[in-house]
Amino acid sequence: LNDCLVFLEECVKNKVVIVPGVFFDINPRGLKNVYKSSCISNIRFSYGPPMQNLIFGVEQIGKMVAYWKLNQESMEEYKSRQSIFDV
């Protein structure tokens, strides 16, 4: 969960959507590698949805982080599993 793209992937698995910080990095022509972005460790939340949705999202993120604290794996192990973004 150490970069915003992995965090997004895991959030989606838990029915939560966040916005990766790299989406806000200024890179108009895609000239730099997203993993070298200064925003790779940032995420954004929207506080616009109804309160019950926000509570659900925070609870799900809490469960996800607790799970990953107990079941840590290396980035190589994580990458070896199929991503939800793999087509």
For residue range 36-61, list pLDDT tens digits in order.
888 889 999 888 899 999 999 999 99
Q: What's the pLDDT score for residue 43? A: 92
Asked whether the predicted pLDDT for residue 78 surpasses 60, the reply is yes
Q: Are 34 and 40 in contact (CB under 8 A)?
A: yes
Q: What's the pLDDT score for residue 87? A: 43
Q: Which of 1, 39, 36, 47 is nearest to 20 (CA)?
A: 39
- DSSP letter at 82 equals P
CB-based contacts of 56: which residues, under 8 Å, 6+ apart? 15, 16
Q: What is the pTM of this model?
A: 0.75
Round to whole Å and give the CA distance between 32 and 38: 11
Average pLDDT of the residues of the chain = 83
